[in-house]
Structure 1
Amino acid sequence: MKEKNKLFRQIIGLIIIAAWVTPEVVVSFCWVAFLGDNGTLNQLIELFHFKPIAWLFTFPMISVIIANIWRGTAFSMMVFQAALDDIPKEIEEAAIIDGASKWKVITKVTIPMVKGTIATNMMLVTLQTLGVFTLIYTMTGGGPGNATMTLPVLMYKQAFVSYQLGYGTAISLTLLLIGVVASLLYMKTLKMKV
């Protein structure tokens, strides 16, 4: 049983790590091929006699969010796996011997011991998500209309398409400020020392 579990974890780990190490532009084109009008998802839907959907036009933001989550999950999994592996098993075993339920072990032992990792990961994921450009620009270009127009895409279009460098710079500074405020809130919420 343990061998099957180990093999399963290795296979899933490889699939997830592949998402992280693949360049973002390649991931974007893969998702466009998967969600496109003649893409894999629509071909699967047609097998069940459903009408194909223009995913990138009908649900553009949801499509981008799913692609970004798939790409970013690997990093968080590696960070949390390393943090969980660092927790001494003796502490969890001692809590169980003292009569703690599995829920109590998770909430009173495991989570407090990885609190710093949670805060760090939340900050990094927030900052990475705030700065997502290639994925969105390649998949939708900020459209249809302005449906997926995020600050990085707007910044690019203002600075390099409309040649409004001052406006683009102002957007980038706003993005930086949002990242700083979010990081400070995470640290305050989890009572981390700067």
Structure 2
Amino acid sequence: MHLFEVPERIFDYTINQVVTIFYNRYPNSFSKHVISEDVISREIKGGKIITRKLIVKRGAGFLKSVPHWISRQTHVAFMPTLGESIFDVNEGTLITHTRNVFWTNTLDMTETCIYKKLIFNSITKFSSKQYLTTTPASSSSQQTTSSYFSQTQSLLYSSPSKQHQQIALLLIQ
């Protein structure tokens, strides 16, 4: 189900500036809700840089975008999300997918952002398109999520440091 879409916007930055900022966005003083951002894997395939990250945030800001009856049923202290970015150096595009790892039996959400290079009068700019989608939770997704939750629940409520690496290893198994 398509929940939310931001109209395409054009910005006066080069795609290289955008990619640099994207890969260095955390930590920063404006995102105090982000506890950590850990790289799970990074590889280069055919001119594309593919990065997978575990991002742990305080609370669940994504619940602002869902129906009120869902957000009332959960109290979330920490929200791990998986992020995947694909930067195509040759095409000048950056595609990002971010999805929730827990609570997928209630709501499985994916945010997709597409950043692409545009050339206007020999000036390089970039455009941004964002959308948020949900999918019904499948029984296998629920079982997998329950397994991850039971294995990582104690880690999330302890101090958030080395535990994030252990969570990342569980998620990619």
When Rg is computed on C-alpha atoms for both structures, the one with the higher figure is 1
TM-score > 0.5, shorter chain as reference? no
Q: TM (normalized to structure 2)?
A: 0.24
Q: TM (normalized to structure 1)?
A: 0.23
- Which has the higher relative contact order, 1 or 2, with Cα contacts under 8 A spaced 6 or more apart? 2
* Higher strand proportion: 2
* Higher helix proportion: 1
